[in-house]
Structures are given as structure tokens and as C-alpha cells.
Structure 1
Amino acid sequence: MTWSADLLEQLEFYWTFHFRPRLAGLTDDEYLWEPVDGAWSLRPVGPGGALEPEFLQPEPPIPPVTTIAWRAVHIGRDVLGKRARAFFDPDAADADMYDARHWPAALPGDAAGALAMLDEGYRLWHEGVAALDDEALLRPLGPRGAAYAEDTMAKLVLHVNREVMAHGAEICLLRDLYRAYADRRDPVVAAALRGDAPAVARATADGGAVRPTLVAEAAGLHHWDVVRALVAAGAPADGALHYAAGAGELEVVTLLVEHGADTGAVDDRFRLTPAAWADYFQHPEVAAYLSR
């Protein structure tokens, strides 16, 4: 095994199990959401109105909050895409890794385009690094490294890993904030997530809609009275059974099964059944009930 495999494994794990799954369901509104006044985003510039991320040089002492769009473009184009083409594309322009010619494509104004750009940038970088041997990793970057010409490729790979993780974490946080902003405007969701079962019952009685994942979300937070209230209101029990089983809540497990929860379903992350969750978290009575 070469060092390139070890260095890539760090990025692969983060990308595959942490970052990329967190982008599922990204909407255009969320992609361009500006959480505060003065946020940096993608703005049309020049006669043609091409989108570019806002930026100042030198940076302000406290850089503004950015949108998901800004961070996604920075990761997909600047961190991964330009560098991949600068160092691994045999037909690349004779220019350093910051040169715009390494990524001439228009920047995405919507979520689908952003995800495609991220995936393409990651693919190009991953394939390039995977092909390096130890000797290539220890070779200086040369002129394409610009001010970092004397740094080794290994140092650049480590830097890219850090950059993707740092900016990826910012995107994940922005998604959390966007979801929380939307959730607090929905009386059923807001009550469920704060564990207020009576308020959930009132809101559903008043005709409030229940999103399909809400019972599972409440179960994941161990808001068992909320789970009961939602099930009583006719909400689907899908996804909640694993959490109740893992917590050893036999009464809630029984309720969910009686309302149609699938005892044979496997979760997306570990590919285990509710009985396996109960067994793992040492709740033999629940595991036995689910294994009948």
C-alpha cells in the first residue's frame, strides 16, 4: 500500500460517510439561503452576469457568514476541481493551481448543479491522488503550486483533506440551521422536537400536518410521549422502531409494531434490524419480543 492510499482513506471516509450523505435532499432555496444580512454568496458579475463567489483580498478581519452555495463552490471548484486539473490533467493550461482556466465551466445556480460539481471535483481529485506513488507524493509541486512551489504533493493532499472537512462542516451546520429555521415555523414539528406532547396533540387536532419522518425524529430524541401522540394522530411509525428498540422501550416498541412498524426493516447506516439494535444495546426482552 502506498501513502496515497492512506492519505485518500481519510478523505474517502469523511466524504462517503459524513459529508456527502448530509447533502441528500438539498433544495435550491436552501442552497442559496442567506442566514444573516451581508452574507457572502454567489452573485452575477460582469456583462454576462456569470455567477462568482463574493470575496475580498485581503480578507476582512471577520469574514462574513457564507451561504451553502459559496462553500459548495469553494470545495468543488477551488479546493478539488482546479487542483485536480492543474496537477493531473495532461491537457491542463500551463498555469498555477489557482488559475481560472482550470475550471472554465459556469458555476451552478441551483442545488442539483452544485452536487454535480462537487461529485466531479471529488472524482477528479480522487483519481489523480490514487495514481500517485510515494515518490510522486514527496516531489515538490513546482510552478503550478504558485507560492507553495516548494511544498510536496503530500502536503497539498493533507491540506485538501483539511479544507474539504472544514468547509464541509460549515455546510452541514448551515443545513442544520436552515432546518431549525423552517422547523420552528411548523407548530407540529416545533412542539415535537421540544418534547411537548400536549402541544403536539393540540396542533394535530387542529389539522396540522405531520411530516413522514417526525415519529422517527421524536423517537431518536427519546420523546416517547410525543411518539405516542403522533401515532395516536395517525402518523406513520416508519423509522421509529429502531430507536425505541435501542433504548429498551418495550411499551413503545409494542405500540409501534401494533401500528404497522416493520420489524424486519434495516436501518440505512448499519443495515441492522430493530431486534439487532435491541441486542446491541443490551435489551434482551425487547430483542426477544421483536424476534418472535
Structure 2
Amino acid sequence: METEGPRTDRLGLLLDQFDQAREMAQVRLTGLGDEEYLWEPAPGSWSVRRRGEAPTPRAYGPGEWVLDKGAPDIPANEYAEIARQAASGMTVAKIAEDWSVGVERVEEVLAHVGEPEPDDVPLTTIAWRLGHLHSCFAGQWEWTFGERRQDPNFLVDFTPSAAVGLDRFWALIDRWRESVAVVTEEQLDTVGFSQYPYGSDPDDPFITVLAGANLEFIHHMAEIALLRDLWRTRSGPRR
């Protein structure tokens, strides 16, 4: 029996990469329970919390439960991206708008020399990582394939239930994948095919947006996998 070989076209490569990452992630998330989902690996961790109980200044969500979000800034691991945006012709004012920071902060980043100091950021729960990914993909779907009008901060009804959160997440991921699968070559090269307002999507060809979405999915799922390992071994190895 003959099987279809791997695709080598641009969209096919990105879809295959996404499919493999999704398959591995779904296996790694099997058996996730509520206690583990909300486990805070260190004091001050960001998570999903009841509205009014979040300690962060920009926690968001449309319902009873919101996702922690801190004050706007440009993390050190994004300094290279800021340099790329400036090199591509984006103005300092536009970069500042995209990152919700002042022009002075962008100028400070662009003037930085040498290796940046490591980011001092809070640890996050599995609930936070999944919620963050869900929010990103929901927003990008709405502002690429949807009506392009709903605020991304109000698209995901966050939940303290691991089972409910995963069901909603995989449904959204499947919708994203189905929509991406029929994108044309012309659309891949279209600057602004995605109008997602948080980031540089409106200024990028869609193939760049897709590559970035894959990277976002892969690196956050790797973090979630590590959190699962830490949860499993938190009281020492089990015999």
C-alpha cells in the first residue's frame, strides 16, 4: 500500500510541523487534572483566577475567571525582534504601539548593546500557558478568518477546569488548522492578511505569521510538558 510522502511546499511544511507538534502535545496532556492544571510552582506565579482576585494589573477575560497579565514591557528575549521590526522599516512609534509601551522604551531597547540581562518574569501555571495559547490562537483566527472586530481579550472564557479548558482549546486549534489548510499561495504572501491587533501581523506576510504561530505553540507546549514533569516529581522520585 502506497502512502503519501511528506509535503515540501511552503504551506505543507508548516502544516506538517504544526500537526506533529499538536500530536505530541495532546499525548503529553493526557490525564491532566484540575489540581495539576492550577498548580503554582513558585510563589507569585501567574494563573487563571476569579475576577477581582488577580494580583496583576491587566488580567483579562470576559467571564468569572480571568488570566493574569502584567504591565506592558518588552522582555529581553524580544530585543532581537524589536531590532528586526526597526530594520524592516517600522517606525519607533508603531513599534511602541504594537508593544503597548512608550517610545522611550523602544529607543532604550534599540540602543542596547551587548547581551541583555535575563528576564525577571513570574513562573506560570499550566492553566495560564494553555489560556495564553488559547487566547492568542482565538484572536488570530478572529482577525484573519473571522469578522475582524472582536477584542481578542474577550474571546476566551477561561476556566479552572482542566477538562473543559482542553476541550475548548483543541476545538479552537482544529478550527485554526482547518482554516489555514486552505490558504492560497497568494494569501501566504499577502502583507496584512492577518489583522490581529496585538503584534506585527498587519505588517507581515501571512507565511511569517504562520511560522510565528507554530513557534508560539511549540515553545509553550514544551514549557507545559516540563511543568508536568515537575509536578510528577515534586515530592521526589516515586518507586
**TM-score of the pair, normalised by structure 1:** 0.56
Deviation at 1:142, TM superposition (A): 5.5
> Is the Cα–Cα contact under 8 Å of residues 81 and 124 in structure 1 kept in the other structure?
no
Say if 1:145 and 1:124 are closer, same or farther in 2 by CA, change over 3 A: same
How far residue 57 of structure 1 moved from its aligned partner, in angstroms, is 2.4
2:188 aligns with: 137
Q: Is the 8 A contact 1:81 1:120 kept in 2?
A: no
Q: Which amino acid aligns with 1:94?
A: R
- Determine if the alignment matches structure 1 residue 155 to structure 2 residue 169: no
Give deviations 1:181-237, integer Å, cap 9, x for gaps: 15x3xxxx63x3xxxxxxxxxxxxxxxxxxxxxxxxxxxxxxxxxxxxxxxxxxxxx
1:167 is matched with 220
For residue 56 of structure 1, the aligned residue among 37, 54, 70 is 70
- CA distance change for structure 1 residues 121 and 133 in 2, over 3 Å: closer, same or farther? same
1:28 aligned residue: 34
CA offsets 1:238-284 (integer angstroms, 9 cap, x no match) = xxxxxxxxxxxxxxxxxxxxxxxxxxxxxxxxxxxxxxxxxxxxxxx
Letter in 2 for 1:15: R
The answer to whether structure 1 residue 108 and structure 2 residue 159 are counterparts is yes
CA apart distance, 1:86: 1.8
Counterpart position of 1:83: 140
The CA deviation at 1:85 is 2.2
| Identical columns (%) | 30
Q: CA deviation at 1:88?
A: 1.2
Shift of 1:99: 2.8
Question: What secondary structure, in the 3-state scheme, does the structure 2 residue paired with 1:43 have?
Answer: strand
The reply to whether residue 41 of structure 1 matches residue 47 of structure 2 is yes
Deviation at 1:77, TM superposition (A): 2.3
Give 1:124 deviation, angstroms.
1.5
Give the drift of 1:58. Answer: 2.3
Considering Cα pairs closer than 8 Å and 6+ residues apart, tell me whether 1 or 2 has the greater RCO. Answer: 2
> 2:128, 2:192 → 1: CA distance?
27
Larger radius of gyration: 1
Change (3 A) 1:143 1:106: closer
Higher deviation after alignment, 105-114 or 24-33: 105-114
Residue aligned with 1:87, SS: coil
Separation in 2, partners of 1:23, 1:94: 32
1:145 deviation in Å?
3.7
1:1-292 to 2 correspondence within 5 Å?
Answer: 2-16=9-23, 18-46=24-52, 50-59=64-73, 61-78=119-136, 80-89=137-146, 92-94=147-149, 99-101=152-154, 103=155, 105-141=156-192, 144-146=195-197, 147-148=199-200, 149-182=202-235, 184=236, 190=238, 192=239
Moved over 4 A (4+): 46-49
RMSD: 2.3
Q: Gaps (5+ residues) in structure 2? A: 1-6, 54-61, 76-118
Q: Is the 8 A contact 2:42 2:123 kept in 1?
A: yes
In the other structure, the counterpart of 2:87 is none
Query: What secondary structure, in the 3-state scheme, does the structure 1 residue paired with 2:183 have?
Result: coil
State the alpha-carbon separation in 1 of the partners of residues 63 and 159 from structure 2: 13
Deviation at 1:4, TM superposition (A): 1.8
Higher helix content, 1 or 2: 1
Residue pair 1:86, 1:93 contacting (<8 A) in 2 also:
yes
Q: How many Å separate the matches in 1 of 2:124 and 2:220? A: 10
Uncovered stretches (5+) of structure 1, i.e. residues with no partner: 193-292
